[in-house]
Amino acid sequence: MRKVLLSLIGLLTLVMQLSIAQGNEKQANTINPLLPSGADPWAIYQNGFYYYTHTVGNKLVLWKTKELQKLKSAEVKTVWTPPPAGPNSRDIWAPELHFLDNKWYLYYTATDKQKPGDDTRYIFVLENTAADPLSGTWTDKGKLNTNYSGLDGSVFEHKGKRYFLYSAYVGSQSRLFIAGMLNPWTLQEDQVQIAAPTYSWEDQGGRQILEGPQFLRGKKKKIFIVYSAGACWSDNYALGMLTASAKSNLLNPASWQKSPEPVFKQSPENNVYAPGHNSFFKSADGKEDWILYHANSKPEQGCGSKRSPRAQKFTWKKDGTPDFGKPVPTGLSL
């Protein structure tokens, strides 16, 4: 009897240890939300670190970590605050950090405190020559020479050429434009519209909006621009996608084909609403593709501080297009 009792105690102890280990593993791996709050998330992997940023509103802040799922304990630093007046003095939105020509560049959207609004909202850029973007000095390189006011500037390189994407205010709509770049702060004169809102799901919350364009290099010689559609205050805010051949002229509007349906949208069954303004990053070993985005956990939470940054791995379909799946619930171990 004693042997049986000791065996039972040993078995129960083993079960408890396994349960605790699984719980600790789940706690260590749980990734969403990455932070309690943060819209327009962006991450880049460089020199063994993930550098992350999101919209704070009144300054530019960078996070630095070796493991993105540990963002809550990452090193954090405010690297720039806006001037008290001028064209970039208010509404500091949608920052993106890029490493170009062995220098760091921070692109961001801003407007004028004295006359704020869409008419004075433009994209600006800062430059830093330090090896670590959390150190060194950020130099103001000014406003990019876009043909329209707008927001959400992004940069990508393809076949040795550098391109700039942004969302332009054209009348009552927001449309997507692309341009070549002379240098990291100057666009070429040829700035081309590649997409306008044409579907009902791009007209949500009372506004026809295409914004937050992001480049994604695909499979089978395809490239993509994934964008946010509709108004951010709508639960139906979602991601759309443009597709082009990697061999095509990216400055030719005919090169881009728009998907007729959203490629990533709300999931009420998973309590995820208004997912949008995404970016992309790879795992540290370069083998996994991840999408980074913000979303709300309840309906009708709008564009405020309830939005939190989330990330999940995605795969590829046989035709070479991305398969983002559904937004996963918060607290899920990934």
**CA atoms of 34 and 28, how far apart (whole Å):** 12
Radius of gyration of the chain (CA): 22
**CA atoms of 275 and 269, how far apart (whole Å):** 14
CB 58 within 8 A of CB 92: yes
Q: Which helix (H) or strand (E) holds 22?
A: helix 2-29
Six-digit token string for 45 = 């992997």
**CA atoms of 316 and 265, how far apart (whole Å):** 17
The residues, any chain, with a CB within 8 Å of residue 231's CB and separated by 6 or more, are 204, 205, 206, 207, 209, 237
CA angle 246–252–258, rounded 5-degree value: 70
Q: DSSP letters along 106-119, please?
A: EEEEEE-TTS-SGG
Backbone angles phi, psi at 250, to 5 degrees: -70, -15
Six-digit token string for 135 = 């150190």
Which listed residue (112, 211, 235, 289) is catalytic? 211
CB 315 within 8 A of CB 326: no
Q: DSSP letters along 278-331, please?
A: EEEEE-TTS--EEEEEEEESSTT-TTSTT-EEEEEEEEE-TTS-EE---PPPTT
Which listed residue (40, 127, 152, 202) is catalytic? 40
Neighbours of 77 (CB within 10 A): 13
Q: Is 211 a catalytic residue?
A: yes
CA angle 295–133–148, rounded 5-degree value: 60
Q: Is 189 a catalytic residue?
A: no
Neighbours of 58 (CB within 10 A): 11
Residues tagged active-site: 40, 211
